[in-house]
Amino acid sequence: MSDYDAIVVGAGLGGLTAASQLQNKGFKTLLLDHCDQVGGCCGSMQIGDYKFDTGPSVVELLFVIDEVFTNIGRKREDYIEWIDIDPIYGFVDNAGKHFSYPTSIEGTREVIAKFSEEDARAWDRFADLGANALEKAFNIVMTQPMTTLSAAARVMVKNPAMMKYMAPYMLKSFQQVLTGFFKDDSVVSSMCLQSYFIGLPPCLAPGYIAFLAYSEHDGIVYPKGGMDMIPKGICKAFEEDGGKVQLNSTVSKILTEGKKVTGVELEDGTRISSSMVITNVNAKVVYEEMLGKDRIPGWAYKGVKSYEVSIPAPMIMLGVDKKPDLECHHTFCHSSIDNMNSIWFDNFKENKLLGDKNFMLICTPSLSDDSLAPKGHHTLNLVSFSPYEPVEGDWDKGLREKYLEDILDLMKRKFGLDLTSNLKVAEVIDPKRFERRFLHPRGAVYGLQQDLCHSAMFRPGMKSRIYDGLYLTGASTHLGGGVAPTIGSGIAATDLIMKDRG
């Protein structure tokens, strides 16, 4: 007799989604996490009176989150309250020039027309194609386990329009697709920035991802109270259904007998039995550390070793006692497309800090939600890029502090944003801290690369081909990183489990 019907390792969004659905379907489920809070990357950090998000900063493709709550017989709005975000992005270029894209397609067209009338016409075509690609392709693959050739083929046969909107862009890069539509440098770079949301430069990200630049125009929101309200909302429903959450519990091993999973072993030696283990931990960590080289076949080990990780994105959290000179929830500090590509090849691959080449996303969630900071104060998250082990120094030996100073100085010199005056608190989550806190190898916050060769059936399978009873969810599985995709992976993994055990 097992202790539990299912053990979920990792309370990130994928793990929480799987746990809540399994518990709701009658499986006695235990949810374990090594942190002191649920959410994984979608968590929070409290520094003094300021509350910061530690991962994603906005939510799109809301239907996926609604689907989880519907699947467990609930309404999302009873657990999470959305705040609409509009404009979706602000931009600051090297000359300190500000502009922003509103949610509305027409409004964005007007902004683009100020740069180029030709690009404004191209925007109409791009938005039309993006809307179709989203509806007929992305929304469908989001919650489907495309983990085998036959599974992928079944999805495509059922949805023939999907090929029309994905196939032509599979063998083109993100940059090729966008430059095929837009010509003005400012317009192209404002759209290309999004390739780094999957941790790849524009010239290496797959072309179909280019429609990300449209998807936000379908509407983006921020959860009232912070991004961690999403995992907390799902967790609340899980506990209401009788699920058990055990935090501060590090799983060191997945236990197996023959080709079957038998449970997990915690760091303190405690063993918990179950014939089903669902992990929300990065697949490289699962196979290389929790199972280990000796317990997986050579060919699978070779596959696991071959997965490459995305570029790390250090996050700087700042609490200030006055409103910064920013108007949008998200502000991109602009960079040219050549610069965006160059930082991958000349800095990340060469382990060199980006210096003046760095560009970043500034998130100011307190502009949308005043509950995150004391009255009149604000919170800012600066997401920039760097290698994991820079030749310039060690993150744990002084580099963290120097990085903070350098980035603040760069913001002032290059983008005309003085964030140092009125600074009350500052903290850096560098790649090493990311790795320790979220178990992302080499601090790659976007997880495994998300190019064509790391997608669908070439990404770690949601159902292990090695051990019966082992399932995977989260950013290292199909469809990849982001709030909606990771929740989608939890839905897809649960569907696979129900087919096997339902």
Options 451, 474, 487, 496; binder of other proteins; rule CB under 8 A: 451
Interface residues for other proteins in 333-392 (CB under 8 A)? 341, 345
Options 97, 154, 183, 465; binder of other proteins; rule CB under 8 A: 465
Task: Round to whole Å and give the CA distance between 397 and 393.
Answer: 7
For residue 102, the minimal CB distance to other proteins (Å) is 30
417, 411 in Cβ contact below 8 A? yes
For other proteins, which stretch binds (CB under 8 A), given 30-38, 67-75, 304-312, 372-380?
A: 304-312
Options 50, 287, 385, 467; binder of other proteins; rule CB under 8 A: 287
463, 471 in Cβ contact below 8 A? yes
Which lies closer to other proteins via its Cβ, residue 203 or residue 423? 203
Work out whether 175 is an interface residue with other proteins (CB under 8 A).
yes
Which lies closer to other proteins via its Cβ, residue 120 or residue 261? 261
For residue 306, the minimal CB distance to other proteins (Å) is 4
Options 378, 459, 463, 478; binder of other proteins; rule CB under 8 A: 459
Work out whether 469 is an interface residue with other proteins (CB under 8 A).
no
Interface residues for other proteins in 243-272 (CB under 8 A)? none
Write out the DSSP string of 39-95.
Answer: BTTS-EEEETTEEEESS---B--THHHHHHHHHTT--GGGT--EEEE-SSEEEE-TT
Q: Which two tokens stand for residue 492?
A: 């897809």
Task: Round to whole Å and give the CA distance between 281 and 11.
Answer: 9
Residues β-bridged to residue 271: 265
For residue 391, the minimal CB distance to other proteins (Å) is 23
Work out whether 203 is an interface residue with other proteins (CB under 8 A).
yes
Work out whether 452 is an interface residue with other proteins (CB under 8 A).
yes
Options 183, 260, 271, 302; binder of other proteins; rule CB under 8 A: 302
- Taking only Cα atoms into account, the Rg of the chain, rounded to an integer number of angstroms, comes to 22
For residue 297, the minimal CB distance to other proteins (Å) is 8
Contacts made by residues 165-171, CB under 8 angstroms, sequence distance 24+: 165/129, 165/132, 165/133, 165/136, 165/137, 165/208, 166/133, 166/137, 166/208, 168/207, 169/206, 169/207, 169/208, 169/210, 169/211, 170/206, 170/207, 170/208, 170/452, 171/207, 171/452
Using CB under 8 A, list all residues that contact other proteins: 149, 172-173, 175-176, 202-204, 283, 287, 299-300, 302-304, 306-307, 341, 345, 451-454, 457-461, 465
